[in-house]
Amino acid sequence: MSLSTPLRDAILDRLQSGHWRAGDRLPTERELSERFGVSRTTVRKALLELKQQGLIEQTVGSGTFVAEQVGASLGRRVQQDSSQHTSPAELMEARLAMEPAIIDMAIRNANQADLQRMDACCANAESAQTLEDFEHWDAELHQAIADAAHNSFVVNVFTLMKTVRAQGDWGQLKKKSVTPERRLAYQREHRAIVDALRDRDAARARELTLAHLLHVRQNLLGY
């Protein structure tokens, strides 16, 4: 572990707890060095990492301050940490709980542009020449359905799930599990879900979404 890590984590704890807020001035390099028993070089390294993450700002002659956008930067950091430590099984469990649950919102709030976007995602997935492209448009379709709920909290959660899908473990499992026949089945299932949403048939859309996700879980995880 780098010598700068304990210092960086200590500063992060103070930022996350609100002990230091946007605009607050941090202790000087010398004070941090003495408080944590590390060299000034180690302090500078820790501060540089935090600066690169948009958490602090440094002004020559004035010192180091908590960045005005610290809240947004901390939120992005939490998302990144969550996505890196979520297994495919955990993601699948979350998808099974959440995706059928938002169908009513999507049906109630989806407009014509939302439905056209879903159609475009289906068409791009069907014409994709590689598994990577197909997986991209697969994820975009599920994001489009979430966006159609027009609920910012739902959109943020699904954006995080899409980030997890981009991680290596999910990609490796998908590569091993998707055969041409399974891909065609997924494409048919996607079209059926979008058709049910267009028809404003909530019961059918929920049933089709759950069946699709169970199909994906069976192919991906074997249960």
The Cα 22–Cα 14 span in angstroms is: 12
Instruction: Give the percent of the chain with pLDDT over 70.
Output: 90
Average pLDDT for residues 89-95, to the nearest whole number? 88
Exposure string over 99-120, b if 16+ CB within 10 A, otherwise e: bbebbebbbeebeeebbebbbe
Q: Is the pLDDT at 40 greater than 80, yes or no?
A: yes
Report which residue type is found at 2.
S
Q: Which helix (H) or strand (E) holds 64?
A: strand 63-66
pLDDT score at 106:
96
Average pLDDT for residues 200-208, to the nearest whole number? 97
Exposure string over 179-218, b if 16+ CB within 10 A, otherwise e: eeeebebbbebbbbbbbbbbeeebebbbbbbeebbeebbe
CA 33 to chain centre: 36
pLDDT score at 160:
79
Map out the domains of the chain as residue ranges.
4-69, 86-221
184 three-class SS: helix
Alpha carbon separation from 127 to 13, 110, 175, 191 (Å, rounded): 47, 25, 18, 14
The Cα 77–Cα 55 span in angstroms is: 10
Average pLDDT for residues 193-220, to the nearest whole number? 96
153-180 tens-digit pLDDT: 888 888 878 777 776 566 677 778 889 9
CB 193 within 8 A of CB 212: yes
**4-69: which CATH number, 1.10.10.10, 3.30.360.10, 2.40.50.140, 3.30.540.10?**
1.10.10.10
Q: What is the CB-side half-sphere exposure of residue 52 using CA atoms within 13 A? A: 7
The Cα 95–Cα 213 span in angstroms is: 8
pLDDT class for 85, splitting at 50, 70, 90? low
pLDDT score at 53:
81
Topology of 86-221 in CATH? Answer: Four Helix Bundle (Hemerythrin (Met), subunit A) (1.20.120)
Q: What pTM value is reported for the model?
A: 0.65
The Cα 184–Cα 170 span in angstroms is: 19
pLDDT score at 146:
94
